[in-house]
Amino acid sequence: MPNSSRSKRVLLYSHDSFGLGHVSRCRTIANAIVEADKSVSVLILSGSPMIGSYEFRSGIDFVRIPGVVKQIDTGEYDSANLRVGVEHTLQMRTRIIRDTADIYRPDLFIVDKEPLGLRGEVVPALEMLKARGTPLVLGLRDVMDDPEKLAAEWQRKKVVPALSDLYDEIWVYGLPQINKPLTGITVPPSVRHKMVYTGYLHRDLPLHTDVPHEAEEIKGPYILVTPGGGGDGVDLVDWVLSAYESDQHIPYGAVIVFGPFMAAAAREHFKERAAKFHNIRTLTFTNNLGALMKNAAGVVAMGGYNTFCEILSFDKKAIIVPRTRPRLEQYIRTRAARNLGLLEMLNAEGWRDPFVMATALRQLPQQGLPSDVVVPGLLDGIGNVLRLVSKQLTHPHRGPARLDAAEPAEVPPTGTSSSSVRARS
């Protein structure tokens, strides 16, 4: 990262309408940026109600925009807490995002996953910063959705023009050997030239690495069971508990982390079932899931991006049960990782036979580790992202306009795309 007496500012946006993956990815990137360069400040715009529960390094702060929640069955949005309509909430979010970008005046703006933001809420900020010459980056996870569905969605939202006209680079936090997120999308060559595959984002333990006491209460090895945020994790937890109830010979105990978005009634029901076993413990949420995973003999999880990165980073044997609604993202990622030999997959569709899960749990000790498979650049994401950030922050003609400067009449030409870790989609 560049050494400079002038303080640099990075702005990160994450819509965070469901789960923990988006805010966790932004946190990982932000912590890496400020750790690499003490002169950089990072501000995160987030709609996640859990963002304040995470540990951030010095130099990072966040603006919590009013939350919205996605209905898992319909994909529609509602206000999460405010007793106002979702359109009113989105108007507030749009204004907060633009005004924050205006006042903060970042040297670099990174948008996570949603090119236009939730229902276009980030477009005014993008257009304002584009006019000022601020570098604009779209950060994509390795898998977005089924190509046919994604193509229809992006056509409806008019995403491709924004990729062409607004963004300077598109960083893909993954590898093309596992998935190319724009497969099936018709985009001009200029857009594909902006794409950089960074590799997956390595995860480290937080600065304070106390292991939750639930794990210490189990004698012997345990399996970590995590459905991520938990909003759609009821079936996974039920399947695992059913396996223990039907098979007394599973060699490991279990620590089940429900996730903060699992319904309270479901959590209480699962706690009652788990209490009948001396080697099963439960908890709702921990901001130090990495410590639990590092000490676990294996992992049973859904196939979200964040969990996948943690499994690779802590080199854990894993059984993944990917969801298939409302997106096929987890299934596509998990199928590709299984084909490479990085993990095992169970298909959650249809009737969940407890003996199928029990068999998988009993076979877990014989399963290979992710590190047994050689995939060049698999976990190089953080280092490559830091190099890309450094390149953008060293552009002398870019950065925040003076507070008293008039807005330019024309949009200045954007910079060139990185080639250091570039791979065509």
Query: Running along the chain, 425 residues long, what does each successive block of 10 average in pLDDT?
Result: 68 78 88 96 91 87 89 72 89 97 97 95 97 96 93 94 96 96 92 97 79 82 93 93 95 94 95 96 90 94 94 98 89 96 85 91 95 97 97 66 41 38 43
* Cis ω before 326 (30° cut-off from 0): yes
Tell me if 37 sits within 8 A of 2, measured CB to CB: yes
Q: Which two tokens stand for residue 47?
A: 């709609």
Confidence (pLDDT) at 352 = 84
Amino acid at 393: L
| Residue 189 token pair | 């060559």
Q: Where are the beta strands (DSSP E) in 157-311?
A: 169-173, 195-197, 222-226, 253-257, 280-283, 298-301
Q: Global pTM?
A: 0.88
Q: How high is the pLDDT of residue 210? A: 67
Give the start-end residues of each E strand in 113-204: 136-141, 169-173, 195-197
Q: Identify the pLDDT of residue 7.
A: 85
Q: Can you tell me the distance from the alpha carbon of 304 to that of 286, in angstroms, rounded to the nearest whole number?
A: 17
HSE value, Cβ hemisphere, 13 Å, CA-based, for 217? 14
- Beta-bridge mates of residue 109: 11, 136
Looking at residue 347, its pLDDT comes to 85
CB atoms within 10 A of CB 41: 21
Give the Cα separation of 391 and 92 in Å (integer): 33
Instruction: Provide the 3-class DSSP secondary structure of residue 291.
Output: helix
| Model pLDDT, residue 287 | 79
The CA distances from residue 392 to 31, 133, 134, 255, 413, in Å, are: 18, 11, 9, 43, 14
CA distance to 123, 139, 170, 184, per residue, from 114 (Å): 11, 9, 12, 17
